[in-house]
Chain A
Amino acid sequence: DAEITQSPRHKITETGRQVTLACHQTWNHNNMFWYRQDLGHGLRLIHYSYGVQDTNKGEVSDGYSVSRSNTEDLPLTLESAASSQTSVYFCASSETTAGGDEKLFFGSGTQLSVL
Chain B
Amino acid sequence: SQQGEEDPQALSIQEGENATMNCSYKTSINNLQWYRQNSGRGLVHLILIRSNEREKHSGRLRVTLDTSKKSSSLLITASRAADTASYFCATFDMRFGAGTRLTVKP
In the bound complex, do residue A105 and residue B96 qualify as a contact, i.e. CB atoms below 8 Å apart?
no
* A11 partner residues in chain B, CB cutoff 8 A: none
In the bound complex, do residue A45 and residue B94 qualify as a contact, i.e. CB atoms below 8 Å apart?
yes
Tell me whether A108 and B41 are in contact in the complex, defined as CB-CB below 8 angstroms, given that A59-B1, A101-B48, A103-B48 are known contacts: yes
Q: How many residues of B contact A (CB 8 A)?
A: 23
Range class of the A interface residue count: 20 to 34
In the bound complex, do residue B94 and residue A100 qualify as a contact, i.e. CB atoms below 8 Å apart?
no
What's the nearest-Cβ distance from chain A to residue B61, in Å?
15
27 A/B residue pairs, CB under 8 Å, sorted by A: A35-B96, A40-B98, A42-B2, A42-B98, A43-B43, A43-B96, A44-B2, A45-B94, A45-B95, A48-B94, A59-B95, A90-B43, A99-B50, A100-B30, A101-B30, A101-B31, A101-B48, A101-B50, A102-B94, A103-B48, A104-B33, A104-B35, A106-B43, A107-B42, A108-B42, A109-B41, A109-B42
